Amino acid sequence: MPSDFGPGFRVDKGRHERRELTRRRVRRQRRIVAALLGVAVLVLGVLVAVAFLPRAGSERPEAAPGADRAAAPRPPELPRGGRELLPRYRVVAFYGAPQADELGVLGIGKLDDVGRKLLRQARAYRRGDRPVMPAFELLATIANAAPGDDGKYRYRQKAAVIDRHLRAARKAKALLILDIQPGREDFMTEARHYRRWLEQPDVSLALDPEWSMEEGQVPGQQIGSTDAKTVNRVSAYLDRIVRRRNLPQKMLVIHQFTEDMIEDREDLLPRPGVALVRNVDGFGNPEIKKQKYREFTRGPRRTRVGYKLFYREDTNLMSPRDVLRLRPRPDVVIYE
């Protein structure tokens, strides 16, 4: 050792050796702790594996990787795919009921034949990359001139009739829209009555205020109306069904052929799960119908827009090309 380390070298050397021993001891303790931890983990793993070993007679085949993900159900979709109805699709519907031809084209002939006719009519509305969604708009609650047993001046379709139309709609990959003419009943009561069907992913709703009567009024003798508060209650009800059932977007159509048929319509509220549609109703010649459409769609719009055509009552029935020249282009086209 060189002598120039000085007299304090031996003391410093002892301190250095003690520090080095201490460091080695600490490193050894860490290695021991790590080794003990590894043994503990190994023992715990063995115990867990033993605990989960299948008992005799209870063996199950090993699940394939990703089996849990594959088993998870996919959220329901619309009849032609996806979960957004508007504006992804343009809806083309046939309206009516089986009780009488006068109620609309949906009630004329066998349902399979009607479905094929609807698909032919709907194809003419395909434009660009916006596909068409066909729909059956069934009069589920029909206003009556007679009070009925409960004095409500309305008739409800039997469940078998609705089920038959839903099967036919599904065969055509179409929506079913349940239309309500409430008579003296309120829209919310009627909507709740159809909850069983509204919980399906391919069933929507329509309100017909023309047939919403006050006390003392009779359908066919007065023209009814509704207001934004009533529509908002129904749309909130539909939206809750959509959220709770994780359903695709539904449509709520409100038919209108007079300016005051929906009071306070500037108060209509949007809902995430509901596409709200004001459908411009009423028959006549093309010029009258187009003028009414321009009036009803003028200014700010809080809803989607629809347009109704009548095979019998309209004079010079507008062609699909004529309808698509309207501005704004209708999101929904309904034939009665």
| CATH number for the domain formed by residue range(s) 90-335 | 3.20.20
Q: What are phi and psi of 19, to 5 degrees?
A: -65, -40
pTM summary value? 0.79
For 309, the 3-state DSSP assignment is strand
The pLDDT value given to residue 64: 52
Is pLDDT larger for residue 68 or for residue 8? Answer: 68
How many other C-beta atoms can be found within 10 angstroms of the C-beta atom of residue 328?
10
Domain ranges of the chain: 9-51, 90-335
Yes or no: say if 254 and 277 are a contact pair by the CB < 8 Å rule: yes
67-99 residue pLDDT tens: 455 567 899 999 999 999 999 999 999 999 999
Yes or no: say if 333 and 305 are a contact pair by the CB < 8 Å rule: no
Alpha helices in 124-180 (DSSP H): 159-171
96-100 contact pairs (CB < 8 A, 24+): 96/137, 96/138, 96/139, 96/336, 97/138, 97/139, 97/142, 97/157, 98/161, 99/142
Q: Among candidates 218, 135, 129, which has minimal Cα distance to 181?
A: 218
Is pLDDT larger for residue 27 or for residue 203? Answer: 203
Query: What is the torsional sign of CA 136, 211, 328, 302?
Result: negative
